[in-house]
Amino acid sequence: MKNLIKIAIGGIFILVIVVLFWEWGFCRFYVGPNEMAIITAKNGDPLDPGQILARGEQKGIREETLGEGRHFLNPIFYDREIIDAVIIEPGKVGIVTAKVGEKLPAGEFIADRGQKGIWRSVLGPGKYRMNPYGYNIEIVDAISIPIGYAGVITSLSGERAESGQFAKDKQKGVRKDVLQPGLYYVNPKEYKVDVLEVGINQVSLLGRSGSKVITKARQLGQNDALNVLQNNMLEKQEAKRADYFKSRSSSIKLPKYKSGKPVEFGAGKELAERAPAPLAEGEMNLMELVSFPSRDGFPISLDMTVEFELDPSDIAGIYRRYGDLPQVVDKIIMPQITSISRNKGSEYRAKDFIVGEGREKFQDNLTASLEKTLGAKDIRVYNALIRHVEVPDEIRAPIQLASIAVEQDLTNKERQNTARKEAELNTELSLIQQRGEQVMQETEKLKAEIAADLEKQVAQIQAETLKKAAEIKKLTAAILADKVRVLGIATASALEKVEGEKANGLQLKTAAFGDPVAYARWIFADMLNPKMKLNIIHAGDGTLWTDLEKTGFAELGGAQQLKKGK
């Protein structure tokens, strides 16, 4: 029996060793940091039709993945594949396309979690272990709106919004709400975001050389990562604007937001030759000019600059109606500028554009008309500045000569006036110099009088001060004399009273003893040291002891007492 027990224990021990060796040698595996393991079951129930990932006891690629750490799986029943986990850095978003889940309704392409298709929600920065056989993750930039811009949102999914209306929830179209400067984790498959410049912008019409649109330049922040995202966002917007100008037969130069030469899209060599040299950041050239006949039939060409503003509260409506900023300028602002300039300019003669007063009046009328017309379209106009007017030589030269003659005449008159004013000025300067010298003399006289008066006042004050000091000394001496007298009387009176009281005290003490001698003896005895010891040794007649009677001490009884006590 004991042998059977030993054999059983040995068999169990060997079995444990074999199991441990199998588990730790063949079943054990590690998933490292930032990794995940995809498990495939070799046995189990078959997958349903159309099913990609296995669940529970089904055979195939399992939906769940294993995270980092130590795991044990029997290699006979399971295969494993270790791959990198999906890491989304800050400033990025992950767009998930699910290959598994419920089918989307007809007409929809944005899915909720649990449905097959592009997920509505995005993955923010972090680490994710989603099975790549069932889910595809596309990492893209988050939406970063730079300072000086606003983000216009266009919903790409849902039912189409009513014509001329903003899109609401679950509707397709431009939304009324805009994105302010900042970082947003938005699904670009669900929403399209266009950045438009807000605030003051400029449109410059450069006569026959073309037109220039000056927009916002970038304002870099302290965060380099955000600056990169903003550059990427602006480059995407630049590409959209380039596509727009490719589709129309005009020439434009668009800036590169990082570096490099502007991209030119042309409609012929003639227009390209008119385009200015490379532009600064935030500038665009449109091949437009303002030219019209004057009231007297002469061709006029203008250089002007129009300052306008797109308010963030109106930017979504402007984008919905007209499109991006170049489209707003190309479709709305430039036609209004050229149309109003031609209409207003045809009311003026060519001479009016040369003479300053006429040009200023035209500029004011043009600004007022642009403010009214573009203001109705939510575009605020602040100034329309006329910088240069090109007038034909045959009309400009005579007008200029006449203007020069008028100006020369005015100049001569002004010179005469200047000469007269100079003579008057010299006279006034002489009078001023004379008056100045007179004032100086009067000032010196006043200074001398004031100094003498001050000396006199100082002398009087000093004399009065000495007089007051003498009077104070006299009073002080009298007070001191009274003090000495009073102190002497007080001292004598005090001495008299003290000594008199002492004498009275002695008289009372003497009267109390009845005899002055007795009182003196009491004083003597009282003044003796109580610790004093007196030893008298009798040595016979004629000695100190026997002679005490002659001292008078014996009369007081002292000698007899001493004798008795010997």
How does pLDDT run across 44-71, given as a tens digit for each residue?
A: 888 888 888 888 888 899 989 999 999 9
Task: Please give the residue range of the domain that contains residue 328.
Answer: 195-391
Separation CA 343–CA 423 (nearest Å): 52
Examine the fold and report which residue of 366, 391, 416 is the final residue of a domain before the chain moves on. Answer: 391
Residue 37 forms part of a structural domain: yes
**Domain total for the chain?**
2
- Higher-pLDDT residue of 141 and 524 is 141
Residues in Cβ contact with 401 at an 8 Å cutoff, skipping those fewer than 6 apart: none
Return the CATH number at 270: 3.30.479.30
Banded model confidence at residue 524, pLDDT cuts 50, 70, 90: confident
Overall average pLDDT of the 17-27 stretch: 80
Residue 159 forms part of a structural domain: no
Average pLDDT of the chain? Answer: 79
Alpha carbons within 13 angstroms on the beta-carbon side of residue 449 total 6
Q: What pLDDT score does 513 carry?
A: 76
Residue 59 forms part of a structural domain: yes
Separation CA 61–CA 134 (nearest Å): 9
Kind plus residue range of the DSSP H or E element containing 322: helix 315-322
Q: What pLDDT score does 96 carry?
A: 94
pTM for the full predicted model = 0.57
Q: What pLDDT score does 499 carry?
A: 81
Q: Which of 208-217, 314-323, 433-442, 524-533 has the lowest mean pLDDT?
A: 208-217
Highest average pLDDT, of 56-60, 152-156, 547-551, comes from 152-156
Residue 6 forms part of a structural domain: yes
Segment 213-233, tens digit of pLDDT: 555 555 556 667 777 887 888
DSSP label of 47 = P
- Higher-pLDDT residue of 104 and 125 is 125
Has residue 197 got a pLDDT over 90? no
Q: 80 near 28, Cβ under 8 Å?
A: no
Banded model confidence at residue 76, pLDDT cuts 50, 70, 90: confident
Share of the chain above pLDDT 70, in %: 80
Segment 379-399, tens digit of pLDDT: 999 888 887 777 776 666 666
Residue 151 forms part of a structural domain: no
Banded model confidence at residue 261, pLDDT cuts 50, 70, 90: very low
Helix axes 516-527, 393-513, angle to 10 degrees: 120
Residues shown for the chain: 566
First to last CA, the chain: 132
Would you call 400 helix, strand, or coil by DSSP?
A: helix
Has residue 495 got a pLDDT over 90? no
Same domain, 201 and 75: no
Kind plus residue range of the DSSP H or E element containing 64: strand 60-66
Same domain, 79 and 199: no
Torsion, Cα 424 430 431 435, to 10 degrees, reads: 160
Residue 226 forms part of a structural domain: yes
Same domain, 367 and 237: yes
Residue 540 forms part of a structural domain: no
Separation CA 235–CA 222 (nearest Å): 20
- Higher-pLDDT residue of 374 and 247 is 374
Q: Which of 225-234, 318-327, 485-494 has the lowest mean pLDDT?
A: 225-234
Examine the fold and report which residue of 42, 69, 84 is the final residue of a domain before the chain moves on. Answer: 84
Has residue 511 got a pLDDT over 50? yes
Kind plus residue range of the DSSP H or E element containing 304: strand 299-310
Has residue 26 got a pLDDT over 70? yes
- Higher-pLDDT residue of 88 and 394 is 88
Banded model confidence at residue 276, pLDDT cuts 50, 70, 90: very low
Overall average pLDDT of the 79-106 stretch: 90
Has residue 21 got a pLDDT over 80? no
- Distances, alpha carbon 524 to alpha carbons 336, 422, 529, in Å: 141, 124, 10
Banded model confidence at residue 275, pLDDT cuts 50, 70, 90: very low
Separation CA 519–CA 512 (nearest Å): 8
Residue 215 forms part of a structural domain: yes
Q: What pLDDT score does 563 carry?
A: 42
Same domain, 71 and 200: no
Overall average pLDDT of the 225-254 stretch: 70
Q: What pLDDT score does 548 carry?
A: 52
Examine the fold and report which residue of 374, 391, 408 is the final residue of a domain before the chain moves on. Answer: 391
Separation CA 305–CA 206 (nearest Å): 8
Segment 283-303, tens digit of pLDDT: 555 556 677 888 887 788 878
Q: How many CB atoms are located within 10 Å of the residue 67 CB?
A: 14
Has residue 416 got a pLDDT over 60? yes
